[in-house]
């Protein structure tokens, strides 16, 4: 058997070698070695390390990497991107100065006979920055004008008072100021408004990344100017008067909501005692308790300047021409007999200086009076703010006036020159005006008047002549009694 194997052995080996060569040549031509490019996904790991270290990746980095694979065509055709794994291990980043990250763990997971390698440097470029916190005091800029009579009471109250910036270091260090703008136009009370914060760099440029994202509650204290009303208690000393009580300040600021402020129009001081005061003084007092929700801006103390004056007296002398008759009857005659009437008044000097016989309307009321001599109280208008210390009486003589017609046909012509002249009255009657006490006038016997004209000395012509009559005691003519008489020579 062995001999058979050894027989012609070289030829047998040569034949095998030639067969293998022929097979290899066929295999190589039909299944050549090829190269292929694939992009495989990079799996991030340990990303939580970034937040733990307060770090943040700023740039958009590649999440795929190119690799080159090499092998027989039949092998390569069976390989895909999913057959590989590779990692980005963020746990290797320890500070913000890292500018690249090595790709790690590249591994083929299949069973094909291939070789592979990463394309390029095997790393990805990173921009890393640290997250830091910074606090910036918020500044409130007030625009507009409050309603008339209302004012800002102190600075606004912010919640929160500071703007907290939690971001990458390059942005936080850029922030120079934080500002909110509040428009107080027309405000009539304390209000809380919510506004977005604007952040600016040192050049005054708006930082858009941080602005208009964080809201701040701003309470704007608006106060109303309220007049102070002084409350006094007690009375000054005798012959003294309180003439002024002036607060300093005259107005105080009261803060509260618009609704609360609309219900108050003045504030009253605590009582200031002027009992027995005989001179001007200044007192410090507080203000009465305000309704709930309202608050005084400031100390709430007020100085009250109380002016006390000593009353003075003044004497004013009236004569009959300075006295008016009021409520008299048209058929009465009122004759003031008093010639020196004295009025004494007491009051403030400034007021007394304005009082004269011409500024005071002095009068007597003659209504419901009878004829004869009577005394009536002198009364006055325009004596406000003074005290009348004397109450003078005025003597008045009252008589009745009466008018009647005295017919000329009843007049007797005395001492006529008979035959030489003709006498003719040009009036039918003459006006007879009488004055006297009413009882005398009422009891007058008109038949006993005996009207007479003495014509003995009269010559021809037209004459105004006086009529003589007989009047009883106490009755007088209030005007001359005359008539027109024409005398014609025959």
For residue 332, is pLDDT > 90? yes
In a domain, 23, yes or no: no
Residue whose C-alpha is closest to residue 160's, from 172, 178, 141, 186:
178
Q: Are 340 and 306 part of one and the same domain?
A: no
> What whole-number distance in Å separates Cα of residue 90 and Cα of residue 75?
34
Residue where one domain finishes, among candidates 346, 372, 399? 399
What pLDDT score was predicted for residue 65?
93
Range of the domain at 449: 401-489
Cβ count within 10 A of residue 216: 21
Q: Are 447 and 465 part of one and the same domain?
A: yes
> What whole-number distance in Å separates Cα of residue 395 and Cα of residue 15?
183
Residue where one domain finishes, among candidates 294, 310, 326? 310
Q: Are 304 and 344 part of one and the same domain?
A: no
Q: Are 276 and 232 part of one and the same domain?
A: yes
Q: Are 319 and 368 part of one and the same domain?
A: yes
DSSP E strands, 173-258: 177-183, 191-196, 198-200, 215-220, 222-229, 232-233, 240-248, 251-255
What pLDDT score was predicted for residue 133?
81
> What whole-number distance in Å separates Cα of residue 123 and Cα of residue 103?
5
CATH label of the domain that carries residue 68: 2.170.120
For residue 232, is pLDDT > 60? yes
CB 251 within 8 A of CB 227: yes
Q: Are 259 and 280 part of one and the same domain?
A: yes
Residues 144-182 as b/e (b if ≥16 CB within 10 A, e otherwise) read eebeeebebbeebebeeeebebebbeebbebbebbbbeb
Q: Which of 52-61, 312-321, 415-424 has the highest mean pLDDT?
A: 312-321
For residue 277, is pLDDT > 70? yes
Residue where one domain finishes, among candidates 220, 251, 277? 220
- CB proximity list for 5: less than 8 A, separation 6 or greater: none
For residue 270, is pLDDT > 70? yes
What pLDDT score was predicted for residue 419?
75
In a domain, 317, yes or no: yes
Mean pLDDT of the chain: 90
- CB proximity list for 1: less than 8 A, separation 6 or greater: none
Q: Which residue has the higher pLDDT, 427 or 170?
A: 427
> What whole-number distance in Å separates Cα of residue 6 and Cα of residue 8?
6
Q: Are 38 and 121 part of one and the same domain?
A: yes
CB 118 within 8 A of CB 67: yes
CATH label of the domain that carries residue 138: 2.170.120.40
Q: Which of the 8 DSSP states describes residue 467?
A: P
What pLDDT score was predicted for residue 465?
95
What pLDDT score was predicted for residue 135?
85
pLDDT digits over 192-210, tens only? 999 999 999 889 899 888 8
> What whole-number distance in Å separates Cα of residue 214 and Cα of residue 173?
18
pTM, whole model, 2 decimals?
A: 0.55
In a domain, 41, yes or no: yes
Mean pLDDT, range 35-45, rounded to an integer: 93
Mean pLDDT, range 394-419, rounded to an integer: 91
For residue 305, is pLDDT > 90? yes
Number of domains observed in the structure of the chain: 5
> What whole-number distance in Å separates Cα of residue 377 and Cα of residue 318?
13
pLDDT digits over 95-119, tens only? 888 899 999 999 999 999 999 999 9
Q: What angle do CA 160, 164, 166 make, to 5 degrees?
A: 150
What pLDDT score was predicted for residue 26?
47
CB 284 within 8 A of CB 302: yes
In a domain, 9, yes or no: no
- CB proximity list for 321: less than 8 A, separation 6 or greater: none
In a domain, 288, yes or no: yes
Q: Are 257 and 286 part of one and the same domain?
A: yes
Residue whose C-alpha is closest to residue 344's, from 318, 323, 313:
313
Query: 240 exposed, middle or buried (CB, 10 Å; 0-12, 13-18, 19+)?
Result: middle
Q: Are 235 and 300 part of one and the same domain?
A: yes
What pLDDT score was predicted for residue 29?
59
CA-based Rg of the chain, rounded to a whole angstrom? 64
In a domain, 2, yes or no: no
In a domain, 6, yes or no: no
pLDDT digits over 162-192, tens only? 888 878 888 788 888 999 999 999 999 999 9
pLDDT digits over 350-366, tens only? 999 999 999 999 999 99
Q: Are 305 and 330 part of one and the same domain?
A: no
Q: Please report, in angstroms and rounded to a whole number, the separation of the first and last CA atoms in the chain.
A: 230
> What whole-number distance in Å separates Cα of residue 84 and Cα of residue 36?
14
In a domain, 3, yes or no: no
Q: Are 122 and 153 part of one and the same domain?
A: no
> What whole-number distance in Å separates Cα of residue 398 and Cα of residue 434?
14
Q: What percent of the chain has pLDDT over 70?
A: 94
CATH label of the domain that carries residue 434: 2.170.120.30
Q: What percent of the chain has pLDDT over 90?
A: 70
Mean pLDDT, range 263-279, rounded to an integer: 94
Q: Are 149 and 103 part of one and the same domain?
A: no
Provide the β-strand partners of residue 240. 310
DSSP E strands, 42-190: 43-45, 55-57, 64-72, 84-89, 100-108, 114-118, 123-125, 128-143, 150-152, 157-159, 162-168, 177-183
């Amino acid at each position: 058997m062995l001999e058979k194997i050894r027989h012609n052995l070289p030829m047998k080996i040569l034949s095998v070698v030639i067969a293998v060569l022929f097979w290899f040549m066929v295999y190589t031509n039909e299944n050549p070695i090829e190269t292929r490019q694939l992009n495989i996904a990079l799996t991030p790991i340990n990303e939580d390390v970034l937040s733990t270290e307060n770090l943040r990746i700023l740039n958009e980095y590649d999440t795929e990497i190119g690799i080159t694979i090499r092998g027989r065509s039949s092998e390569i055709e069976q390989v895909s991107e999913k057959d590989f794994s590779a990692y980005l291990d963020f746990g290797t980043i320890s500070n913000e100065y890292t500018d690249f990250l090595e790709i790690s763990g590249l591994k083929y997971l299949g069973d094909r006979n291939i070789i592979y390698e990463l394309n390029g440097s095997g790393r990805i470029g990173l921009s890393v920055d640290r997250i830091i916190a910074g606090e910036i005091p918020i500044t409130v800029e007030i625009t507009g004008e409050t309603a008339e009579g209302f004012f800002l009471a102190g600075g606004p109250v912010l919640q929160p008072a500071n703007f907290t910036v939690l971001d990458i270091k390059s942005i936080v260090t850029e922030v120079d100021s934080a500002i909110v703008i509040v428009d107080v136009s027309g405000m009539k009370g304390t209000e809380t408004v919510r506004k977005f914060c604007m952040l600016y760099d040192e050049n005054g440029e708006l930082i858009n990344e941080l602005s208009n994202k964080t809201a701040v509650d701003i309470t704007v204290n608006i106060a109303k100017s309220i007049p102070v009303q002084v409350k006094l208690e007690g009375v000054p000393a005798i012959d003294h008067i309180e003439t002024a009580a002036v607060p300093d300040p005259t107005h105080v600021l009261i803060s509260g909501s618009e609704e609360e402020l609309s219900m108050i129009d003045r504030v009253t001081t605590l009582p200031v005692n002027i009992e027995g005061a005989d001179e001007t003084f200044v007192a410090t007092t507080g203000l009465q308790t305000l309704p709930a929700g309202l608050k005084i801006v400031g100390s709430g103390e007020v100085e009250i300047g109380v002016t006390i004056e000593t009353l003075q007296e003044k004497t004013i002398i009236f004569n009959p021409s300075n006295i008016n008759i009021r409520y008299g009857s048209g058929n009465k005659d009122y004759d003031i007999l008093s010639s020196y009437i004295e009025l004494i008044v007491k009051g403030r000097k400034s007021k007394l200086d304005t009082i004269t016989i011409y500024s005071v309307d002095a009068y007597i009321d003659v209504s419901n009076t009878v004829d004869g001599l009577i005394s009536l109280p002198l009364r006055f208008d325009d004596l406000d703010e003074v005290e009348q210390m004397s109450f003078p009486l005025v003597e008045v003589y009252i008589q009745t006036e009466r008018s009647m017609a005295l017919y000329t046909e009843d007049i007797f012509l005395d001492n006529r020159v008979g035959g030489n002249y003709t006498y003719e009255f040009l009036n039918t009657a003459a006006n007879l005006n009488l004055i006297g006490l009413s009882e005398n006038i009422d009891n007058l016997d008109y038949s006993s008047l005996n009207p007479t004209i003495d014509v003995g000395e009269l010559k021809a012509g037209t004459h105004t002549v006086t009529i003589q009559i007989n009047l009883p005691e106490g009755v007088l003519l209030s005007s001359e009694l005359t008539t027109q008489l024409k005398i014609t020579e025959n």
